[in-house]
């Protein structure tokens, strides 16, 4: 396999890895309403963080929480697509897998909301007191 022409197309150029990865993110954003909702929430958290002048530690938690939700939504989409690829009719195990993947997104989103509340709530309360 020393002949470069025998390698699968995706392995020919290192830059292709990035292009395919960005294509995957773009596809998830275009096809998944929940991903668009998560991105909107992330942008709002970013803007609120700027307005409230978060510390570096607070920024780290907000960015971590936001990206964990994005990653989990992408993984959930991957799992749902794979299940749909291998099962054409309803199967209880397929439902179970999809529900578990959705539960992972929900759990991560709850973590992000709690993190946001712990960071933003005291600052917002202080603004109005």
Task: Check: CB of residue 77 under 8 Å from CB of residue 35.
Answer: yes
Rounded (5°) CA angle 80-81-82 = 95
Widest Cα–Cα separation across the chain: 70
Residue 23 assigned to a binding site: no
Options 23, 31, 73, 88, the catalytic residue: 73
Residue 91 assigned to a binding site: yes
Backbone angles phi, psi at 87, to 5 degrees: -130, 125
Residue 20 assigned to a binding site: yes
Closest residue by Cα to residue 109 from 71, 54, 52, 56: 71
Catalytic annotation present for 58: no
Residue 32 assigned to a binding site: yes
Residue 90 assigned to a binding site: yes
Residue 88 assigned to a binding site: no
- Active site positions, annotated: 73
Residues within the annotated binding site?
A: 20, 32, 73, 80, 89-91, 98-99
Residues within the annotated binding site for a divalent metal cation?
A: 32, 80
Residues within the annotated binding site for ATP?
A: 20, 32, 80, 89-91, 98-99
Residues within the annotated binding site for substrate?
A: 73
């Amino acid at each position: 396999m020393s002949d470069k022409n025998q390698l699968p197309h995706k392995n020919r150029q290192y830059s292709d890895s990035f292009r395919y990865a960005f294509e995957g993110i773009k596809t998830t954003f275009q096809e998944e309403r929940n991903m668009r909702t998560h991105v909107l929430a992330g942008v709002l958290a970013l803007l609120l963080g700027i307005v409230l002048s978060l510390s570096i530690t607070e920024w780290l938690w907000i960015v971590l929480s936001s990206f964990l939700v994005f990653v989990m939504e992408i993984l959930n989409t991957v799992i749902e697509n794979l299940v749909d690829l291998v099962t054409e009719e309803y199967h209880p195990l397929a439902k179970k897998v999809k529900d578990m993947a959705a539960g992972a997104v929900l759990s991560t989103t709850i973590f992000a909301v709690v993190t946001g509340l712990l960071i933003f709530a005291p600052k917002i309360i202080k603004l109005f007191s």
